[in-house]
Structure 1
């Protein structure tokens, strides 16, 4: 099966080279530039990635633009900030490719000091607990490294274009009866400062978006 990897990107020049040079063979990176001003798109193009421009700002907008641009049978998502090792993408893609799961999330396991700020880890744990209550799926993380089939994801009709997009994906996949599983992946210290987990304000904004998605998909 062909596999595309969607990488939403906003000013990740410091990390893109490290990420793209570690992409496994057979995994095709799609870097979705969401308004970068640091030359991220040019770096991605130089390193052979497909570059998609999404002018509408928002994490979900970038993810969905990448999904609609993908042509592979399987689509993976991961952050472009080097907190995740693309060499571990087979951990999330293989269960989908083998028909063992419809959606696979990479449960982040900190592998370096300072990889996961306490406020972000606590917020993630609270959201995962709410998600378990809603779906019955024993998830411990809203893992940003994940995989599913392209046709299946498009059929879910995901609507959120902000930080609620990953959560909506899980909720709608669960409602559709998909088998959803987790697998451990390493979580690393990012290159540069995070726009979300690096600040309490960014984390609060993401939580607000996710809580809104929970209400709207009730």
Structure 2
């Protein structure tokens, strides 16, 4: 069941990282739905359709990350963030940033350390069969690897900025979202899922729009799952809620 999100004022200011590669068609809808008082950080990953200039004209803070890769864009946005809590959202209009207060609330109130939006497709074409099957298999592998009862590796998520930086994520491609979950689990974080509607994206996916792209993403994520558990260095802080 999809919960009604709290008002943005109830959860405080948050930075929203939006990795972007040629998303001019979706940007206006996405940016107009960023919660009031929150800062949109659009990370341009080499767009050629004017996405960066459009995002800037719409009031977003724009960061340029020349190294291609979803993880490279997300990490650049995280580095540019200054708020205590950071959210991540795709920039293709498949996910509604207006739902982010509900995703961020458990992190801000201390009841969770990482919250993921579990995608619930609104139409069959919102999630191609090959991408959905790949996600189901990866979720199964994540459950086996971490013990977390996750059913999705949703890109709509929230966590505390300093704690995320302390995870020292290294993947700069498609494995970045998975590495975040695996390292969070290894560090003892409380990870939660919340249902969110998943709409047909604007334009074609750069990752899961083809079998080849999906297979590459699966390869990246399998490499992450093969990594040995990362030990938390002495002195690295746990999320505030877990102290």
Please confirm whether the aligned pair reaches a TM-score higher than 0.5, indicating the same fold.
yes
Q: TM-score, normalised by structure 2?
A: 0.88
Query: Which among 183, 187, 201 is matched to residue 198 of structure 2?
Result: 187
Report the Cα offset of residue 2 of structure 1. Answer: 2.6
What is the count of residue pairs matched by the alignment?
218
Aligned twin of 1:85: 96
Where in structure 1 are there 5+ consecutive unaligned residues? Answer: none
1:62 and 2:73 aligned: yes
Where in structure 2 are there 5+ consecutive unaligned residues? Answer: 1-11, 230-243
Mapped to 2, the partners of 1:192 and 1:119 lie a distance apart of 17
SS in 1 for 2:126: coil
Mapped to 2, the partners of 1:107 and 1:156 lie a distance apart of 22
Query: Which among 46, 49, 53 is matched to residue 42 of structure 1?
Result: 53
Q: CA RMSD in A?
A: 0.9
- For 1:58-90, what per-residue CA distance to the aligned partner results, in whole angstroms no more than 9, with x for missing partners? 110000000000000100001000000111111
- For 1:138-167, what per-residue CA distance to the aligned partner results, in whole angstroms no more than 9, with x for missing partners? 000000000000000001010110100000
- For 1:36-72, what per-residue CA distance to the aligned partner results, in whole angstroms no more than 9, with x for missing partners? 0000001100000000000111110000000000000
Task: Say if 1:156 and 1:194 are closer, same or farther in 2 by CA, change over 3 A.
Answer: same
Mapped to 2, the partners of 1:171 and 1:113 lie a distance apart of 29
Aligned twin of 2:155: 144
